[in-house]
Amino acid sequence: MIIYTNNILVEKKYKEKVKVIFVEGNYGQVLIKVRDQVHLGCHILNHPLYGSVKPNETPFRSVAVEEGKELDLESVDIIEYALLTYKKYMENAEKIKQDKYPDEITDDFRMIDLDLFSNAMDGIIKA
Amino acid sequence: MSLELRKIKITDVKFDDSNKIENGILYLNKKIMEELVTEDKRIKSVSFDIARPGESVRIIPVKDVVEPRAKIDGDTFPGLFKETIEEAGNGITYALSGVAVTTTGPIVGFQEGLIDMSGPAADYTIFSEINHVVMTIKKNDNIDAHEHEEMVRLAGIKLAKYIATIGFEYEDYEAEVYEWESIGERYNKYPDLPKVAYVYNCMSQGLLHDTYFYGRDSKLMLPTLISPLEVMDGAIISGNCVSPGSKTTTYHHENNAVIESLMSRHGKEINLVGIILNPLMTTLKEKYRNIMLTVRTVKMLGVDGVLISQEGFGNPTTDLMHICKGIENEGIKTVIITNEDAGEDGMSESLPDSVTEADAIVSTGNSNESFTIPAMDKTIGDLEAIKRITGGHADSINEDGSLKIEVQIIMGSHNLQGNTFLTAYTK
């Protein structure tokens, strides 16, 4: 299993258990990394659009994949739809000014992301 | 299973020295309520306010809305405050309609939900037409976000349950008796009516994204056959407040519009044979397992048609679509209810997942539809929160105090059980 994340709390929690690739980038860049791996045969384990905090709100995303050799069409479908959704939100968000979040709110987004991702992973890996 | 629901219509709420209902007016003693709520030692302080229909009042950010319900001979909202659990949906339940306990106060930095009691935003939510006992709760130090969320959630339910008991002595109520027989009995009773099942999706994903069934986290349950009567008795409560337009508050569960509509047609146009509560989870393994189990349960019920309601948006759309696909492939006609995120101009692709089998969709509206709402004389809560919540943004507050918002910021604006004013009728 490989976890792609830009959330340092997710990296910290799982790096001793599984391979974690920290992505220096935003929500969309995590999705792109995952998309690239899916096209090389990886299967997605958790839905990339987990939670209800919108892509133009939370900066954090964490996606677990399982390595494989054959293209998994279901994973392709899910990641491509997720990227389309991400782009749609960002295009619409560009028309309005987003608040620059203070650090404590960014911390809250990070914490919620860790919670949602951990709840998903509970059925897959204990950490 | 038989439930008598006694509804008392509350027309106004006032603070008073004693708790009582007189001529449809609910009188509440603040001190008694404060003592009740602060029994939870995690709570540092609580304050109360009242918001009435038509007033120039805005409540922001809203966490949950709860209709007061209590049983004379049992437990509403079972599984929350006692270790023993009674099956809900039997006996006599009092419901105070026209009033709700509404919780506010920060839990995390981004906050959710706005209710306006008058003006244009009031036209978009059922909550503008009821009185609110608004409770602002502050936590003690060293209470983490999970404890904080639980504390606020339980306080809202506890107070709602308590307020409903004030109705026990009041005799001016409208009673409705609901019966829920075994599946076999229902099949035999209406053999000629089309058999219908309802798939009731609920968010089950983590902090501020959860649902509780008999007080337990729905992430831990499998798709389960439930009775509409236990839903009316508060067996399902909301722990979910992110993205307010499409969230099912506890009030929406208690007054599930799909259940009300199906029950009113039961025995006349349709034979409602079952409701399946399906938790919406995030790993694909769990999603596909739950989809399979839900489809299989529907198939085992032998129904002719299915209605699926949604909660949330994004990953839950995958569950919605694949359950629909699975059921349609069994030859069973299926209708789904969802909202759309089609951008401010309505031109973007509106759903993040789709299947060709989803050929009958009821839309509860475009959540990105934008408009301006005027300033209100009074704000309960924190207006600045609007800058950081879904449907609001940094420039939401105009110089004259008016707000530019998307419809999804309004609590329950496109509720996915259809308990909303965003609607269209066909003739």
**CA B150/CA B208 separation, integer angstroms:** 10
Q: What is the pTM of this model?
A: 0.93
* Rounded average pLDDT over B87-104: 96
In this structure, are residues B120 and B251 in contact, taking their beta carbons and an 8 Å threshold? no
Q: Is residue B378 part of a domain?
A: yes
**CA B120/CA B402 separation, integer angstroms:** 11
B349 pLDDT higher than 90: no
Domain locations in chain A as residue ranges: 2-121
Q: Is residue B427 part of a domain?
A: no
Chain B positions in Cβ-Cβ contact with residue A81 (cut-off 8 Å): 352-353
Q: Is residue B426 part of a domain?
A: no
Q: Which residues of chain A have pLDDT under 50?
A: none
Q: Is residue B238 part of a domain?
A: yes
From B101, B72, B95, select the one nearest B21 (Cα to Cα).
B95
The 10 Å CB-count burial string (b at 16+, else e) for B181-209 is eeeeebeeebeebebbbbbbbbbbbbbbb
Domain holding B142, by residue range, is 2-409
Q: Is residue B134 part of a domain?
A: yes
- A96 contacts B282? CB cut-off 8 A: no
- A124 contacts B283? CB cut-off 8 A: yes
pLDDT of residue B303: 97
* Rounded average pLDDT over B407-412: 93
* Rounded average pLDDT over B244-251: 92
Q: Is residue B132 part of a domain?
A: yes
B212 pLDDT higher than 60: yes
**CA B357/CA B330 separation, integer angstroms:** 11
pLDDT of residue B111: 65
pLDDT of residue A99: 55
Tens digit of each residue's pLDDT (9 = 90 or more) over B49-91: 999 999 999 999 999 999 999 999 899 999 999 888 889 999 9
- B349 contacts A111? CB cut-off 8 A: no
Is B202 catalytic? The answer is no
H/E run at residue B297: helix B284-301
Top pLDDT among B406 and B164 is at: B164
DSSP state of B325: H
Tens digit of each residue's pLDDT (9 = 90 or more) over B295-327: 999 999 999 999 999 998 888 999 999 999 999
pLDDT of residue A100: 62
pLDDT of residue B207: 87
**CA B396/CA B73 separation, integer angstroms:** 49
Which of B207, B281, B314 lies at the smallest CB-CB distance from A115?
A: B207
Which residue out of A3, A52, A76, A77 would a mutagenesis test of the B interface target, given it has the greatest number of B Cβ atoms within 10 Å? A52
Q: How many domains does chain B have?
A: 1
- A88 contacts B348? CB cut-off 8 A: yes
List all residues 6 or more positions away from B81 whose beta carbon is below 8 Å from its beta carbon: B75, B154, B158
pLDDT of residue B161: 98
